[in-house]
Amino acid sequence: MKVAAHLMRKMCYGNKDDLSAGVIVGGWDPVYGGQVFNIPLGGSMLQMPFAIGGSGSTYIYGLVDSDFKEGMTAEETRTLVKKAISHAMARDGSSGGVIRTVMVTAEGNDRDYTPGNQLPYGPAGW
């Protein structure tokens, strides 16, 4: 994971004058387990317990800071992600429609889809 993030960092730095967004690189490897790297504009690389990006992210930093806990179960994590994305979608006209998540683990990738009419939070689910 760290090598993949470093390669992305090099590409982002090499093209920093042409980019207008940061990159989040996350995944799992057999040595270090799950990892998340945030590569903001300019090409630095920060390993973090989680990363948030996109136009709706400004609406959910406080929510994620409040609700994220180290050692969350897979289901607790997916629930928090859906809650945060739903809140971002409810406030940002450029975010949304559906929620697609992929949980990356040693056992493989677990994909989940939530259609827009079944969002856990937002105008219909406050």
Q: What are the boundaries of each domain within the chain?
A: 1-51, 52-126
pLDDT tens string 48-69: 999 998 888 999 999 999 999 9
| Tokens 């989680």 sit on residue | 50
| Higher pLDDT among residues 123 and 118, named by residue | 118
Nearest to 33 by CA among 75, 79, 71, 76: 71
| Tokens 């590409």 sit on residue | 11
Residue 59's Cβ-count burial label (10 Å; 0-12, 13-18, 19+) is: middle
Residue 25's pLDDT is: 94
DSSP code, position 107: T
As a CATH number, domain 52-126 is 3.60.20.10
